[in-house]
Amino acid sequence: MKSKAMVVVEPGKMEMKEFEVETPLKGQILLKLTTTSVCASDPKILWGHTPYVAFPVIMGHELVGQVAEIDQEASDHYHLKRGDRITVEPMIPCGHCQWCRTEFYYHKCRPMRVYGLTLTADQPPFLFGGYSEFMYLLPGSLVHQVAEGVPDKAASLSSVIGNGVRWVKTLGQMTFGQSLVISGVGSQGLATLIVARECGVGPIAILGLSRDDARFKLAKEFGVDFTINIEKEDPLKVVPEILGGFPDVVVETSGVPSAIQTALNLVKPIGRVVTIGLSGGKETPIQFDLLVAKGVTLLADHAQAGNVKDAMRIINSRKYAIEKINNVTYPLEELPKALEETAHPPDGFIKGAVVFD
């Protein structure tokens, strides 16, 4: 049996290749992919603009699939069998370093072992990314079962919703009744909104642009209280009026320097700003006198260590139509188009996903 996979052989160059699919070794799982969601970082990985990336690499780390074959040791450890549907966390922790002994920071384990990023396609068994028909999961992988009836396009977003848990709960430390502004209405902003609603946070306002009509519509379906088009309204004036004051927390997802500055100006004294968007190396001037005067706590991080279990509770509950975030689908052969539209979204685009037969 063979598996097609889209391999980034060098920065900016992808090729479709075929690999022989072998029986998984001790502790391994062979996964038949059903859906891989396209992360906004994937175009950056393609061009080598992301730290830690190694080539050649099969990208794709937001994924769901069925267990095709499983070693007995892995079956006993994970309580899995052939045919079970699972999603996997991108990071493989070593399990014994100082970081792996923490609940929420095992993503700081070094050297990083990350599916679709640092595990290369030139070492057996080669298939370590989601843009492939089959994929191997190595011992130590963190997997989560998907409940019956949950769409693959929802389950593939386990790490994205896990990010939302991290921004709201782990970093933002938000509690019932606190006010929140979400800067950016992409998948990270929508995930933040869903988790905030689950935590009883509110009122919630989300900031976006004129081209974000489809995203604003979905945000309303997910329960946002206010949508603000920053091209038409000044959030520094509008937000205090509609929220009855400045927000307790601002989660900034875009990474745009001007948006980060707005977030710092917008948050209330002794508030928190969680900034998670990558700016692509751009510098953001910050007036630290303002932060000192207001007593602002500024937090930054990535990944979803310790947060995917909560994310799966939300996804498996089917309370939200999370699959609607992945509103554009592509076959594997159209991955270049998927990456291009992710980097430069056309009208109505929220997030793309590669769907396998």
Tens-digit pLDDT profile for residues 230-251: 999 999 999 999 999 999 999 9
Place of tokens 């993503």: 107
The string of pLDDT tens digits covering residues 87-123 is: 999 999 999 999 999 999 999 999 999 999 999 999 9
Q: CA angle at residue 269 from 168 to 231, to 5 degrees?
A: 70
Closest by CA to 192, choosing from 213, 178, 172, 176, is 172
The string of pLDDT tens digits covering residues 20-32 is: 999 999 999 999 9
Domains of the chain by range and CATH? 2-156+326-355 (3.90.180.10), 161-300 (3.40.50.720)
Q: Is the pLDDT score of 74 beyond 80?
A: yes
Rounded Cα distance, 5 and 258, in Å: 39
What does the pLDDT read at residue 357?
83
Backbone angles phi, psi at 349, to 5 degrees: -75, 130
Place of tokens 């502004």: 181
Residue 186 and residue 167 in contact, taking contact as beta carbons nearer than 8 Å: no
Residue 141 and residue 89 in contact, taking contact as beta carbons nearer than 8 Å: yes
192 Cβ neighbours under 8 A, 6+ residues apart: 163, 164, 167, 168, 180, 182, 251, 253
| pTM, 2 dp | 0.96
The string of pLDDT tens digits covering residues 257-312 is: 999 999 999 999 999 999 998 776 778 888 899 899 999 999 999 899 999 999 99
Residue 13: C-alpha distances to residues 3, 5, 237 (Å): 20, 14, 46
What does the pLDDT read at residue 293?
94
Strand partners, 32: 66, 134
